A and B are shown apart, each in its own frame.
Chain A
Amino acid sequence: MELLPTIWFVAIAVLWTGYLFLEGFDLGVGMLMKLFARNNTDRRVLLNTIGPVWDGNEVWLLTAAGATFAAFPLWYASLFSTLYLPLLAVLAALIFRAVAFEYRGKVDSERWRNRWDWAIAIGSFVAAFGIGAALALTTTGLPLNENGDRVGGPMAWFSGHALLGGFGVVAFALVHALAFLALKTDGDVRYRARRWFVRLVPFAVLPMFGWMVAVQFLSGKPWTWALVAAAVIAVVLAWRLARAGSEGRAFGALGAFIVCATASIFGAAFPVVIPSTIDPAFNLTISNASSSDYTLGLMSIVAAVGLPLVIAYQSWTYWVFRRRVSAAHIPEAHGFLPAIAAKVMVSKDSPSSTRSQTGD
């Protein structure tokens, strides 16, 4: 068995787990902007819970992709080129979503905000779905030829597994976000999020279980089956804890669920990184898709230092912004104060002239 490729397979699984755990709730909060929030104040509460952290969370995706490129170039090349159109949709979604977070509050108009709210909600949905589908397909199979290129047209990758993975991540993100909001907000939003969570969580995890079990039937091992069972326990626990009003622990339990889920999925798929549905001989594995030991060794050293550091300072961020956000904290949308109003002219002769302020 090759040690370094195995380490990097685990590392990439860890990066994806970190991504789903962290960006999971901010993708979910994004979708809840349209599904859950009832008015602009609610939406601003939602945004402020993820405001300081969503960008850092998204870097987990970039790092997972970059690490795949560096450690398993053939995995990266085959997965990304085969899923060209769905990943294009993910990119478009992530672009709109990111810009929307920043630009939404920059113009004080209901129409403007509404458009960007849709960009956030749809962007979050498409990104969650696309990434879920891509992860499901890399663990269940793609039509690859011996060079690792797609056989068939632009949609040849499509399968039921793509739907399971897509809806699996979307639904998980939604309940994960509800648990997060229950933990991070106060007042009406907090209690409503908790109620929704208790009601939805038993159903929301079903597609993810579908994906987990599908991978187990393809290539499961006893220990990965055990992880599926652990995931069941984690969900039951999360549900009971939320019902008992223990929001932090409920969030933690759901976090344990996603860790068990990805561990069982990647563990079952190991050592194959993309099974070929054309011919098992074309499977990409950790041995035939990986970089040289020199490159992997170098990356291992850097990651051994870098990743704990990332976890440390990201945790610090969460600690800095640990306080609950509530509607009472949200100030009136401060009117935009133009120093220079487009149409108002002042006589040049009066040095200290005054003029009335004009809004946009």
Chain B
Amino acid sequence: MDALEIARWQFGITTVYHFMMVPLTIGLGLVVAIIQTIWYRTGKPEYLRMTKFWGKLFLINFIMGVATGIVQEFQFGMAWSEYSRFVGDVFGAPLALEALLAFFVESTFLGLWIFGWKQLKRGVHLACLWIAVIGSVFSAYFIIVANSWMQHPVGVDMVDGRPVMTDAWAVFTNNTALVAVPHTLFGALAVAGAFLLGIAWYHLWRRRHDGIDVVGKDGKLVPGEAAIPGRDKTDYTVWMRSLRIGAVVAMISFAGTAITGDLQGKLMFEQQPMKMAAAEAACHDGTGFSVLSVGNLGATNCDDIVAVIEVPGILSFLAKGDFTTEVKGVNSLLGEYKEKYGTHLPDNPLYGERAGQEIQYVPVMEVTYWGFRMMIGFGGIAAFAALLALWVTRKGVVPESKWLMRLAVFGILAPFGANAAGWIFTEMGRQPFVVAPNPDMNGIDQVFMFTAAAVSPGVSAGELMTSLVVLTAIYAVLLVVEVKLLVKYIRGGVASAMPELAHAQDSKDPHDKNDDGAGPDKSGDDVLAFAY
């Protein structure tokens, strides 16, 4: 591997890893904020318990997103200095604004939320969480504005060989971003939905398995109690509500991703036709959508690919909204790209040993074709499972089957897979460009950049390899730690996030609302909250 390939692997691994934490942070944050709002308005103890439990898992995950996010910001300069020089005038602004307007808000107000259970009034405390969550949504917006500019550069002029921002409004309302932002947010909510559904299912199953809940003659559930902190009747309500919220969120968000994804696809057929053709492994112009294509997808030409099952008209529908318009395939696009952007990389030292090489305009089709299908497939499976789960549990009973429970738990991974596949598809589908050309911009000064020219000229392959190895090792270790902690706290149930439940149990009536009051512990101390 040369420096470019190592740098791409490093960026890809960091980004995909970071984006395992991010959607859970955004989605779960929103869900916890909604749940705490319900608690604030109704005072029902189950909603406080849900806030604390899901809030705990939210924080365990949040910190990993924070920690890996710093790498994201640094690596543009570290590994991609030529890219940073080229795009800095327009690309740096959304990153700086993300830090200034979103990260500060997110981190500061989340700190207030974590530690402020007692110091702050209930309403103010709740507002802090909402502000933090809104901050995380803004941060998603800014980063997608930056990314969308790489997919579809707008609002710039070329000055001295570099794009210079001339129209900030165009950059910040890039239509690519305006559809990608809701698509990403719905994707994040899908992750949170499946997360709630799977874990709540597990707990409900476990309550039956442990003999706490029994099914009555009418097929309805009779919640019971065990003399264990947190495993009372309210506990049943906690999980059943969580399950339903999770399932509904998962279904809504799938519908959301489908609608926004369709809009996004139609834009992309115009803005990056090669990416979409590669997503379909569509070699020749046509209208058919490939359900299954076989052959050598990794080849640089299309000759080997055979569409085994093809549904006529669907591709046109995805691209244009009708069933007859011919969509250009890879072969005809290839000619256009070569004509517009050249057949060989320039003989410039910035391209290193790749200078003068032939340009491969077709992305790796194995990745685009299957990435696109995995994104849709995983998303669809999760939504279908959520619908099924709602139906199966309509009487408040989770089946005794261990396998169904396992399925529900492993189903948590499906939306994660869909998110990762979507990003891998859209980023690798953009190749060989790091800044894709905008076909609407005319003239010779088109704004685009080949990935081969973006890597830092002064950095050696050895340094890049060091960082690839070091960061990947750290990510692997921390993933194990995070999952272990999540599993521990998930198994621990509500009491693990609410030690005060243990005290509550000593002192009588478990239905007394005060037992679930906001107070973290009984020492009467308002200096510390539940962290550290």
Binding site for B on A (CB under 8 A): 44, 47-48, 51-53, 55-56, 58-59, 61-63, 65-67, 69-74, 76-85, 87-88, 91-92, 94-96, 98-99, 101-107, 145, 147-151, 153-154, 291-292, 294-295, 298-299, 302-303, 306-307, 310, 313-314, 317, 320-321, 323-325, 329-331, 334-340, 342, 345-355, 357, 360
Contact = CB atoms under 8 A, between A and B. Distances in A.
Nearest to A326: B527
Contact of B82 (A56, A71, A77, A352): A77
Given A62-B99, A295-B165, A338-B493, A98 B88 contact: no
Contact of A336 (B109, B119, B226, B496): B496
B449 to A, nearest CB: 13
Contacts of A70: 88, 92-93, 95-97
Size category, B interface: 35 or more
Contact of A352 (B73, B99, B212, B493): B212
- Name, among B77, B203, B501, the residue most crowded by chain A CB atoms within 10 Å (CB to CB): B77
B462 A337 contact: no
Interface stretch (B258-266, B317-325, B453-461, B506-514): B453-461
B82 A338 contact: no
Contacts of B211: 346-351, 353
B115 A51 contact: yes
- What's the dominant secondary structure at chain A's contact region? helix
B164 A351 contact: no
A295 to B, nearest CB: 5
Contacts of A95: 67-68, 70-71, 474, 478
Interface in B466-502: 466-467, 470-471, 474, 478, 481, 485, 488-489, 491-496, 499, 501-502
A329 B528 contact: yes
A47 to B, nearest CB: 5
Contacts of B528: 48, 325, 329-331
Contacts of B103: 59, 62-63
A77 B84 CA distance: 6
Ranked 5 nearest A-B pairs via Cβ: A73-B88, A80-B77, A339-B493, A70-B92, A149-B458
B379 to A, nearest CB: 30
B188 interface: no
Contact of B63 (A73, A98, A336, A355): A98
A329 B226 CA distance: 32
A106 B93 CA distance: 38
B159 A104 contact: no
Nearest to A337: B495
A355 B227 CA distance: 7
B502 A291 contact: no
Contact of B89 (A59, A291, A345, A346): A291
Nearest to B84: A77
Given A80-B81, A95-B71, A99-B67, A59 B457 contact: no
Given A59-B99, A71-B96, 12 more contacts: A56-B108, A56-B111, A65-B99, A67-B96, A81-B459, A87-B74, A96-B474, A323-B527, A335-B499, A339-B496, A350-B211, A360-B488
